Amino acid sequence: MASASIIRTGVVRTVSTTHILDNIAAKYGFKVVEVPVGVKYVARAILNREADMGGEESGGLVYSWHIPDKDGIYTASLIIAMASEYGGLTNLVSDVRSKYGRAYFKRVDLDMRNSKRFVNDNKDALLKMLSSLGPNPRPVTIDGVKVVFGDGSWILIRGSGTEPKLRIYSEALSAGRVEELINNAIGIVNQLLR
């Protein structure tokens, strides 16, 4: 089973993946590498020895000690092994939440042709408007436009690489904050489309 001793260089996650991973990594002194959405970017960081394991929001996990691609059967085996040590999956999840907090996440897809161009053409306006939605905003432009706030919440707007959709993601420590960020981001997009 994978243990903290296997992680030497750090972990990698996509820009749309939970920041609870950052909290876990910080406890063990591991760096977090943030990459664009797509398992190929996670695998590239691992192959470049920037991290030992990583994942993306859709559940794909990659390990330096395994094949350089996502493998659901291997990951399920690891989860089963960890859950058995905790007396069940519910206990494992409860332990993680009690130590690192519970994150609420939501993604909304808006039908939109040329969604990537929309984000690129409006990047400055999106950053400015999104930054007004919370305390101590920190912009991230790895893939689309993301703003991380001092309260631990974040909002991301990016064009899909596989469909004509604009994706809006949010994570926060409360469901209400997630809804607030998503609704405000939809309003900002609609305002920019006028």
Cα torsion 97, 13, 111, 153 to 10°: value is: 50
pLDDT surpassing 70 at residue 187: yes
N residues, the chain: 194
pLDDT surpassing 50 at residue 181: yes
- Considering the domain delimited by 104-193, tell me its CATH architecture: 2-Layer Sandwich (3.30)
Start-end ranges of CATH 3.30.310.50 in the chain? 104-193
- What is the edge-to-edge ordering of all strands in the sheet holding 104-111? 104-111, 165-172, 154-159, 145-148, 138-140
pLDDT tens profile 102-115: 999 999 999 999 99
- Predicted TM-score (pTM) of the model is 0.89
**CATH annotation of 4-100:** 3.40.120.10
pLDDT surpassing 80 at residue 1: no
